[in-house]
Amino acid sequence: MNLITEPISVSHYLAVGALLFVTGVVCMATKRNAIGVLMGVELVLNGANLNFVAFGSELLRATNLGLDGQLMAMFVIVLAAAEAAVALAIALNFYNNHSTIDVDRADDLRG
Amino acid sequence: MADFFNNQIQGTLDWLGFSLSPAWYDWIGPLTAALIACALLLNVVAVGALAFIWLERKVSGRIQDRLGPTRVGGKFGWLQTLADGMKLITKEDLTPAAADHFLFKLAPYVSFAASFSGYLALPFAVGWVGQELNISVFFIIAIVGLEVFGVILAGYASGSKWSLFGGMREAAQVVSYEVPMGLCVLVPVVICGTMNLTAIGEMQRGLFTNWLVFHDPFSFCVFWVYFTCATASVNRAPFDLAEAESELVAGFHTEYSGLRWSFFFMAEYGSMFLVSALAAILFFGGWNGPIPVFGPEALNWVYSQSDLVTGAFRITGYIANLAGCTNLILKACVGVTVMMWVRWTLPRLRIDQVMATCLKYCVPLGAVCFVGVVVWQLADLPSPNDLAPPVHRGAVRENWVLKAATPPGLVPPKVDAPDAAPKAEVTQASVLSGRDL
Amino acid sequence: MILQAAINWQSFYFLLFAFVACGFALAVVFSNNIVHMAFFLTLSLGAIAGLFFLAGAEFVGAMQFMIYVGGTLVLLIFGVMLTAQSKFVSMKTAAGEWVLGAILGGALFVLLIRAGFAVPEWNTPRSDAASLVAADAQHATAIGGAVTGYRVDRLSEENPVLRNGMSGYLLPFEIVSIHLLVVLIGASYLARTKKRVKVAV
């Protein structure tokens, strides 16, 4: 492939971001451990961050989002940290009450 | 440096009579330059660890009223660390049966990699830096917070409850102490208006009264809080319950022996040196130190920032940088020695005392000092820093600003000499507005 | 290895970091051991930070290290340790769910890749990347400047020399700070140790 000699464009970053996003979605869909699902969420958010940074990068495109791209990435990072804290608190409560971290066992509300 | 190597290769090929398109050997230059820089930094960590282990044994011996090593390599036991190293290499490499083998083997390398990566952004003199990052302070603080991973993994993967307790305690401690450390590190950033360590060091050029630790009483206090938090961050006594020898056998590295154990200790000594060097640059002038590296501008003795842009080489500048590098290493070693001194003097704190110190003492003190420094800047109160400044602080700019102000091919602007005009107010607003070229 | 053209170091490092990031992300999905998953996720996020540095966003890269890897992941690992009884460390997923996940993931991936390469402006890179002299770390300084207190009332500055480098990002930082404070107070309240009430017989 010519990738190693040609410069990198935004599309390459988008491809990596897409792979990370899809990996996160599959992780969310298939993991039984609640914390595994959380890890999928982190991967999804990172894929989106990569997209934002790629569109905001001056090195990749002449017209770009500039600092706004990086600022959105910063927002996402901080909010992901906050959301991980809350989700972990919920997961720990679930574990304390049901003695299991398996999400398949969270079926108390099943009709 | 990369261009230098490429030019040498081109020169050799021309002399030999071959004509080859540069594309064939273009990659050798950057690769060699990167490898040399990496080897130099690795030497700092490795030789530093060698020296500090010997120093620790000597210092601890003297404090405990005994001599320390005196047999290996002469009267002072200079080669004791070498003997220790050989012993460690020849030890049996044991992995407990209940251990998670993959993570167990990987944990020391993660710890060492985190400790070593911080040296990437640490400048040893003007222009002598692995990679000049504009956010180097932020980068180093972020990297120092990553070492906790190696410890957690080691604690979990050892498969023993003592290790797990040690690992968890250390993780809680390091993560908690990042908060006051960040607050303390922010004070020099506020005073200088930049996160670029080279620029912060350059702003302290000249007499020692320019050092940021003498800027106002609050920054003096902040240095001590920073040093406490840095000691806690690298898990040195009195904050070393993770390795608490008398309580948890050896904490998170109970099950480690031989070379794997020594990696943890190289990581620890590397981090000690890193945070001490960071304190030296942020508060004590870095490479502008006891050995004078400044002189009249007319003599053109030292490297100035414009030399960073043009990449000029002068033997006098090189010697001055060498002296500056020595200054920095000297100050960092003083910091490490003080950490060792404190270790063998003070008793160990319990985990609840460690957390109380962080949350009830360091954080409020750091916050109050931060507010104090900001008020001092805004009100433009007098400071020892204004006694003999060689350049106006706002005139020292980051590297990329000088590059932006230089159309290609022209000489970059020189840093302003002190003028006879009335002292300009070094307020926060003026420093920041000076950024707009 | 004989190359006809010079190695473009940016492409080389991009491919390196991209393979590490994607490889370890896939390892997160396919691994069954929760602690291994946490470790692979750490490496993946570290490689993504490397990609941020390559794209010129140094501040976001350092933030990724400090907040994501050094904060969120430590939180996750604490959660893993607290719930890692031996029977929960490795939980296998049923094969049917893997098939469903693969179909879903595959379809989404194909869609995203086609969309990513569909716009020609995104495909053509800057051919003069080497001529960017001053832009490298400029973004970090502007964001850092907004944190250390650019005055918002100077946003209407007309003088272009003084206007250069000024930015008004103080407000977003305030927003995320308050948000974090509120969320973390809530999270620590949620995760507190609850007193067990003795039930009278």
Neighbour tally for A31: CB within 10 Å: 25
Look at residue C182 and tell me if it is in a domain: yes
Q: Which amino acid is at C151?
A: R
C-alpha distances (whole Å) from B281 to each of B127, B415, C83 are 14, 20, 43
Q: Is B21 inside a domain boundary?
A: no
Total beta-carbon pairs less than 8 A apart between chain B and chain C: 128
What does the buried/exposed string (b/e) look like for B208-230 if buried means 16 or more CB atoms within 10 Å of the residue's CB? bbbbbbbbbebbebbbebbbbbb
Residue C196 in any domain: the answer is no
Rounded CA-CA distance B174/B115 in Å is: 14
In a domain, C92, yes or no: no
Q: What part of A 77-106 touches C (C-beta under 8 Å)?
A: 77-86, 88-93, 95-96, 100-102
Q: B-contacting residues of C 158-177, CB under 8 Å?
A: 161-166
**Range(s) of the domain holding residue B230:** 91-433
Query: Is the backbone of residue C106 left (phi > 0), alpha (psi -120 to 50) or beta?
Result: alpha
* Average pLDDT, integer, range A26-34: 90
Q: Region C161-169: what's the mean pLDDT?
A: 53
B15: burial class by Cβ within 10 Å (0-12, 13-18, 19+)? exposed
Q: Is the peptide bond before B390 cis (omega within 30 degrees of 0)?
A: no
Q: Which residues of chain A does C21 touch, with a Cβ-Cβ cutoff of 8 Å? A: 16, 20
Domain span holding position C171: 138-147+163-190
Give the gap in angstroms from C-alpha B184 to the nearest C-alpha of chain C. Answer: 14
- Interchain CB contact of C199 with B (< 8 Å): no
Give the position of tokens 């040196």: B273
Q: How far apart are CA B304 and CA B415, in angstroms?
A: 8
Q: Is residue C12 located within the same domain as residue C75? A: yes
* Nearest Cα to Cα of residue C61 among C46, C72, C40, C71: C46
Distance from CA of C40 to the nearest CA of A (A): 10
CATH, residue C53: 1.20.120.1200
Tens digit of pLDDT at every position of chain B (437 positions): 666 777 777 777 777 776 666 666 777 777 888 888 889 999 989 899 889 989 999 999 999 998 888 888 777 888 888 888 888 888 888 888 888 888 888 899 999 999 999 999 999 988 788 888 889 999 999 998 888 888 888 888 888 877 787 788 888 888 899 999 999 999 999 998 888 999 898 888 888 888 899 989 999 999 999 999 999 988 887 887 766 655 656 677 777 888 888 888 889 899 999 999 999 999 998 888 787 776 666 666 777 766 766 666 777 778 888 888 999 999 999 999 999 999 889 988 888 888 999 999 999 999 999 999 999 988 888 888 777 777 777 777 777 777 666 666 666 665 544 333 333 334 444 444 444 33
- Supply the pLDDT for residue C21: 96
- The answer to the question of residue C22 being in a domain is yes
Please tell me the predicted confidence (pLDDT) of residue C4.
47
Residues C74 and C142 in one domain: no
Whether residue C48 is contained in a domain is answered as yes
Do the Cβ atoms of C82 and A92 come within 8 Å?
Answer: yes
Whether residue A1 is predicted with pLDDT greater than 70 in this model: the reply is: no
Residue B169 neighbours by CB under 8 Å, 6+ apart: B241, B242, B251, B351
Q: Spell out which residues of chain B touch residue C73, defining contact as CB-CB under 8 Å.
A: 149
Q: Do C126 and A32 touch (CB under 8 A)?
A: no
Long-range pairs for C159-163: beta carbons < 8 A, 24 or more residues apart: C161/B436, C161/B437, C162/B433, C162/B436, C163/B436
Neighbours of A, requiring at least 3 CB pairs below 8 Å, are C
Domains of chain A from N-terminus onward: 12-99 (1.10.287.3510)
Give the chains touching B; criterion: ≥3 Cβ pairs < 8 Å.
Answer: C
Residues in chain A: 111
Contacts of B178 in chain C (CB under 8 A): 70
Residue B86 lies in a domain: no
With an 8 Å Cβ cutoff, are A42 and C129 in contact?
Answer: no
Q: Quote the pTM value.
A: 0.85
Q: In sequence order, which ranges of B295-362 are alpha helices (DSSP H)?
A: 305-310, 315-343, 351-356
Q: Which residues contact C114 (CB under 8 A, 6 or more apart)?
A: none
Confidence of residue C135 (pLDDT cuts 50, 70, 90): very low
User: Is B329 contained in some domain?
Assistant: yes
| Structural domain includes residue B65 | no
Q: How far apart are CA C97 and CA C122, in angstroms?
A: 36
Euclidean distance between CA atoms A18 and A21, whole angstroms: 5
Distance CA A65, CA A45 (A): 19
* Closest alpha carbon within chain C to B145: C70
- Is the pLDDT confidence value at A76 over 80? yes
Mutate to test the interface with C, among A2, A6, A11 (most CBs of C within 10 A): A11
Taking the Cβ of residue B145 and every Cβ of chain C, the question of whether any pair is shorter than 8 Å is answered with: yes
* Same domain (yes/no): C142, C81: no
**Tell me, what's the pLDDT at B315?**
79
Euclidean distance between CA atoms B300 and B80, whole angstroms: 44
Contact between chains at A92 and C191 (C-beta distance less than 8 A): yes
Residues B18-26: contacts with CB under 8 Å, at least 24 apart = B22/C6, B23/C3, B23/C4, B23/C5, B23/C6, B24/C2, B24/C3, B26/C6, B26/C7
In-domain check, residue C122: no
Q: Is residue B3 part of a domain?
A: no
Cβ neighbours of A43 in C, within 8 Å: 25, 28, 41, 44
CA distance B206 to B295: 8
What domain count does chain B have? 1
Q: Is C19 in the same domain as C81?
A: yes
Instruction: Name the B residues in 397-436 with CB < 8 Å from any C CB.
Output: 398, 400-401, 403-404, 408, 428-429, 432-433, 435-436
Q: Per the structure, how many domains does chain C have?
A: 2
Among C125, C120, B399, residue whose Cα is nearest residue A59: C125
Query: Which residues in A lie closer than 8 A to residue C143 (C-beta atoms)?
Result: 67, 70-71, 74
Tell me if chain B has a CB within 8 Å of the CB of C69.
yes
Task: Among C46, C61, C86, give the residue marking a domain's end.
Answer: C86
Phi, psi of A102 (to 5 degrees): -80, 120
CB–CB of C116 and A11 under 8 A? yes
Tell me whether residues C161 and B436 touch, CB distance under 8 A.
Answer: yes
List of chain B residues whose C-beta atoms are within 8 Å of the C-beta of residue C35: 100, 103, 156-157
How close B434 gets to chain C, by Cα (Å)?
Answer: 9
C16 domain-assigned: yes
Among A98-102, B61-65, B239-243, C166-170, the minimum mean pLDDT is found in: C166-170
Chain A CB contacts of C11 under 8 Å are: 3-8
Select the residue from C1, C32, C148 to test the B interface by mutation, using most B Cβ atoms within 10 A: C148
Domain contains C125: no
Distance from the A109 Cα atom to the nearest Cα atom in chain C, whole angstroms: 21
Give yes or no for C55 touching A (CB within 8 A): yes
pLDDT reported for residue B223: 95
Residues of chain A positioned with their CB less than 8 A from the CB of C12: 4
